[in-house]
Every structure is written in structure tokens, then in C-alpha cells.
């Protein structure tokens, strides 16, 4: 049994759960047990997700980089019901042992539709029996790259002024006996928000958790204005802040980040697929920055596999020249995620913690000299034998029916979607050209 990443595993142990929380961890007794498993460990935490149930490949989009092209390609996706997508995403996560997910919510829809979609996402995760923490986010500029490609300017349904009312209406709502909360705010990314929007977000969600994207690509690092300084000036950089990616932080920015106590969510599968670079996790940890793990709804494996994602984190660190230990990666997927959510009762199996447990049938780990390395380096989603959330055994929800509904909508939209894919392919080419002109103007090698 692994009670906390970084501590030696216990052998022949039992976890006791009452009223949804861990009450004790003790040596196994001779009392009868319902089932004995090879491995017990805390539920995993996906600290950055878009709540997407079907991968973009199901829409006929490769999902390859560069990111700026990929963002434009997302315009061609078939609009799907947010509740069904969330139900399917949560159910697939539970299959691989993900008991808690942080979801970043954004849509260009008007306020009523934005709110309905956020509630549908929350309802989908609750229906699956999972935990989720949902962040409400907005943008107000340059979502698709340099401003010169004017036809890509979206119709934004929620601006900085309307966002405050939305947050007042939605923030604090809870679903599924409190397992799912709408509890965070943020810009989708500071590069896509004016200073006015950042200040409006801070005013709307004073003292709430903050979640956003940050410095995912080198191109973003060339944009005017230091994004870390801008977050800080707006009051959005704090210990309650977590950001996805953080690949291109400079050492001074990293020092500022560490001083604030903010968390970076490493998304290795997405980084690899989009070719955005190697997140310097070892350097971040050395600087005192907590690091979590996120699958980004664009993970290393399809369907999602948290073990494959942990191995992707190991591989990315190795490729970047600063290897990580399996224990560090397991910590990212458990206590690191808990830190991103400002929760000390997740990611561990200790008295008082939530009763979120993953059981593995993995005989090779039982007698292994290093069970944690065996789990991280060899396990797959197929080794997950059982999952409990708050002491309740996770059962297959109505995800099969949700999948069928989603796939039927994809088929019905296929002809129109192909036309949209062709249209955005041409626009994406113009975006690439605009970025190259910017690069030459700035004399970036």
C-alpha cells in the first residue's frame, strides 16, 4: 500500500474508511476481507482537463502541433453536449484511477449558455461518481494569434463586465454531495486577456482559486508584456494559483512564481503531441515550485491512461536532460494535484483524507524491490481492478449511452465538419505565416 508518494510502501496493510474518509491504515488482520488486492494507492488527480469526452481525432483532427494551428483547428469541432462529454471524460478517468479532475471551462457563448454549459459539466462529473473542481475562465483578445488575421476574431459572449455576474451566479455551486464544485476563476491564458480583463477576473473571484494556461509555447514567450508580472499585478498570482504548462518560464519568472507559492501543472502527453517543448520539471522543483500532472484532454494515450501519462513525464524529463524519479512523478499525480486544488485531504491515504482509493491487480509489484517504480513504469489502465471515491465503489455510469449519443452527433455532422476542417486549414496557414513574420521582425532564430 502506498499511503503518500515519497514514503516507503506498506506491505500487507488495510485502509479503513468510514463516512467517506480514511480513519486508519493498519497491518492486515486475519479478519475476512471482501477482496485482497496487489496494490492500494491514493486516487490520482488530473490537474488540468478540458472535460472532453471524445478525443479530437474522433472529429477528424490530428491534434498535432504547432499549438497555434491546433487552437484554430478546434473551431471545426462538432458542438457536443457538455454534460455528455463530461460524463464520458469522468468515466474514462475513473477507469484509469483518476478520482479528481480540475476542469478549465471556457466558451464564447453568451452568459446564459456559458452558465448552462458549466453546470452541465459539473453535472456530468457528478453523475459519473467522480470529484471535480471547475474553473470559470474568459478571454478578450488575440485568441487565435496575431491580430492581423481579423476574420479569426471570435464573437465573445462574455466580456470582463459580464464575467463578474457569472462568477457571482456560479461560483460556490456544488454537485454530487459536494464532490464537484465550481470553485475557481481565471483567464484562459494571460496572453489572451487585456490587463483590464485580468483585473476584472481578480475582482470577480477575490480569494478564489485561480487556474489558467501559461507560457505553453515559445511563440507565446515572444509576445509583449511579461505574463507572470501581469498576473501578479492583477492579483492573480498566489498560493491559490495553478497554471498548465509553464514550459517557457525564465529563471526570474520562475523565482517570482516560487515566491508566490503557485503550482505548475505538467502536461507531458499534450506537450509531446503539440511539440511545444520540454517542461523543466526538475528545475521547477529545485526552484521550490510545486508541480502537478495534467492530461489536458489531449493525453499520451487514447483512451486516457494515467500510467502512460506518468511515463510520458519520465520520458520528457529524460529528453530534456533533467531526469525524474518515478516517486517524483507519482507525487505529481497525487499530492501535487492536491496542492494545485488547495486540498490537503486528497492524494494521500492517511487519517482524515478523503476515501479515494485505487486498487491494482499487478502481481509484479508485490515482490518488486521498488514497487513504486514497477507501478509507474509498467502498470496500465487495464491493471486497475477497483476505484473508490469517498469510500464508494465507482461503478460504470451511463457512459455507454453518452458515448453513443456523442458519436451519433459526430456522424450527423460529418459533411459539415469536413467543410469546416478545410476552411480552418486555410486560416491556420495564414496564422503560421503571421507568426513567422513576427519572428522575423523580432529577429528570433
**377: in domain:** no
3 state DSSP class of 188: coil
Strands 44-49 and 21-27: unpaired
1 occurs within a structural domain: no
Q: What is the pLDDT of residue 292?
A: 99
Could you tell me if residue 279 is inside a domain?
yes
Q: What would the grid cell of residue 265 be?
A: 501543472
pLDDT of residue 151: 61
Total domain count, the chain = 1
Instruction: Indicate whether 442 belongs to any domain.
Output: no
Decide if 14 is inside a domain: no
CATH code (residue 198): 3.20.20.140
pLDDT tens for each residue of the chain, 445 residues long: 999 999 999 999 999 999 999 999 988 766 666 678 999 999 999 999 999 999 999 999 988 888 988 998 999 999 999 999 999 999 999 999 999 999 999 999 999 999 999 999 999 999 999 999 999 999 998 888 766 555 677 889 999 999 999 999 999 999 999 999 999 999 999 999 999 999 999 999 888 999 999 999 998 988 889 999 999 999 999 999 999 999 999 999 999 999 999 999 999 999 999 999 999 999 999 999 999 999 999 998 899 999 999 999 999 999 999 999 999 999 999 999 999 999 999 999 999 999 999 999 999 999 899 999 999 999 999 999 999 999 999 986 678 999 999 999 999 999 999 999 988 888 877 777 777 777 777 666 5
Q: Quick check: 397 and 126 in contact, CB under 8 A?
A: no
Q: Determine, yes or no, domain membership for 428.
A: no
For residue 444, what pLDDT is reported?
A: 64
Is 367 a domain residue?
no
Q: Please enumerate, as own/partner, the contacts of 233-237 that have beta carbons within 8 Å and a separation of 24 or more.
A: 233/195, 233/198, 234/195, 234/198, 234/199, 234/201, 234/202, 235/199, 235/202, 235/206, 236/186, 236/187, 236/198, 236/201, 236/202, 236/210, 236/212, 237/210, 237/262
Cα separation, 4 vs 263, whole angstroms: 19
Helix (H) or strand (E) holding 164: helix 160-170
Q: Which domain holds residue 305?
A: 42-356+391-406
Other beta carbons less than 10 A from residue 415's beta carbon: 8
For 106-142, where are the E strands, in sequence order? 131-138
In a domain, 143, yes or no: yes
The terminus-to-terminus CA distance of the chain in angstroms comes to: 50
Amino acid at each position: 500500500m502506498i499511503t503518500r508518494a515519497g514514503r516507503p510502501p506498506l506491505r500487507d496493510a488495510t485502509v479503513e474508511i468510514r463516512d467517506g474518509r480514511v480513519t486508519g491504515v493498519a497491518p492486515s488482520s486475519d479478519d475476512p476481507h471482501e477482496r485482497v488486492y496487489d496494490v492500494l494507492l491514493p486516487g490520482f488527480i488530473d490537474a488540468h482537463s478540458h472535460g472532453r469526452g471524445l478525443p479530437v481525432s474522433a472529429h477528424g483532427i490530428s491534434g498535432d502541433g504547432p499549438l497555434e494551428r491546433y487552437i484554430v483547428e478546434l473551431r471545426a469541432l462538432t458542438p457536443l453536449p457538455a454534460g455528455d462529454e463530461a460524463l464520458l471524460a469522468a468515466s474514462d478517468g475513473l477507469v484509469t484511477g483518476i478520482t479528481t479532475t480540475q476542469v478549465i471551462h471556457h466558451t464564447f457563448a453568451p452568459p446564459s449558455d456559458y452558465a448552462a454549459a458549466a453546470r452541465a459539466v459539473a453535472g456530468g462529473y457528478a453523475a459519473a461518481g467522480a470529484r471535480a473542481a471547475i474553473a470559470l475562465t474568459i478571454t478578450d483578445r488575440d485568441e487565435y494569434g496575431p491580430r492581423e488575421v481579423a476574420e479569426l476574431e471570435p464573437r465573445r459572449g462574455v466580456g470582463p463586465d459580464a464575467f463578474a455576474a457569472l462568477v457571482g451566479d456560479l461560483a460556490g455551486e456544488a454537485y454530487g454531495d459536494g464532490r464537484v464544485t465550481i470553485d475557481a476563476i481565471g483567464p484562459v491564458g494571460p496572453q489572451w486577456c487585456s490587463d483590464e480583463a485580468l483585473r476584472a477576473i481578480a475582482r470577480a473571484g477575490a480569494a478564489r482559486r485561480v487556474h489558467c494556461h501559461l507560457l505553453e509555447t515559445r511563440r507565446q514567450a515572444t509576445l509583449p508584456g511579461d505574463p507572470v508580472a501581469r498576473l501578479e499585478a492583477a492579483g492573480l498570482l498566489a498560493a491559490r494559483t495553478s497554471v498548465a504548462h509553464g514550459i517557457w518560464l525564465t529563471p526570474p519568472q520562475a523565482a517570482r512564481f516560487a515566491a508566490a507559492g503557485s503550482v505548475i501543472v505538467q502536461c507531458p502527453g499534450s506537450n509531446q503531441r503539440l511539440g511545444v517543448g520540454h517542461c523543466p520539471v526538475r528545475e521547477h522543483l529545485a526552484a521550490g515550485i510545486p508541480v502537478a500532472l495534467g492530461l489536458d484532454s489531449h493525453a499520451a494515450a487514447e483512451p486516457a491512461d494515467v500510467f502512460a501519462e506518468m511515463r510520458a513525464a519520465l520520458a520528457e524529463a529524460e529528453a530534456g536532460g533533467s531526469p525524474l524519479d518515478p516517486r517524483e512523478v507519482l507525487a505529481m499525480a497525487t499530492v501535487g494535484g492536491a496542492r494545485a486544488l488547495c486540498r490537503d485531504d486528497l492524494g494521500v491515504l492517511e487519517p482524515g483524507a478523503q476515501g479515494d482509493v485505487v486498487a491494482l491487480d499487478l502481481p509484479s509489484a508485490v515482490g518488486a524491490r521498488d514497487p513504486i517504480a514497477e507501478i509507474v513504469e509498467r502498470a496500465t489502465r487495464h491493471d486497475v481492478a477497483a476505484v473508490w471515491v469517498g469510500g464508494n465503489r465507482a461503478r460504470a455510469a451511463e457512459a455507454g449511452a453518452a458515448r453513443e449519443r456523442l458519436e451519433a452527433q459526430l456522424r450527423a455532422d460529418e459533411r459539415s465538419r469536413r467543410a469546416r476542417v478545410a476552411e480552418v486549414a486555410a486560416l491556420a496557414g495564414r496564422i503560421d505565416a503571421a507568426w513567422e513574420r513576427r519572428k522575423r521582425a523580432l529577429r528570433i532564430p
